[in-house]
Amino acid sequence: MSEVYPGCEVFFDTPHVVDGKVRFNGGAKCSESAPATVDWLVIWLEPDNDAPYDEWFGERTGPAKSHSASSTVPCVSGHYQGTLFASVNGNKGVDQIWVDREATITC
């Protein structure tokens, strides 16, 4: 939840397995009454192991009341952190909101 814009918040799922891959879905939204929009969103998955692949991320830009994205990596059993970072902008300037979500995945 944004401290500057109480009507703006992030939403997300716990990282989970979909079709043999690990996925983290989420986004940010501002209520219609909030004097702000979501300008930038980035979401990524980071394994806490030596999985042999690059980190993938989703990104959405441009002012809107809501942005959503997902990050997907090949499934390797281990511990993952999904991170979601959003920038909201309105009549009080820019505020940043984010969340980290952890999960242990078994493939």
| Residue 49 in this model has a pLDDT that exceeds 80 | no
Mean pLDDT of 25-37: 96
| Residue 8 in this model has a pLDDT that exceeds 90 | yes
Is the distance from CB of 70 to CB of 84 less than 8 angstroms?
no
d(CA 78, CA 60): 28
Angle at 17 between CA 14 and CA 20, to 5 degrees: 160
| Residue 93 in this model has a pLDDT that exceeds 80 | yes
d(CA 96, CA 40): 9
All structural domains of the chain with their residue ranges:
1-46+63-106
- Report pTM: 0.87
For residue 31, the tally of other CB atoms under 10 A from its CB is 13
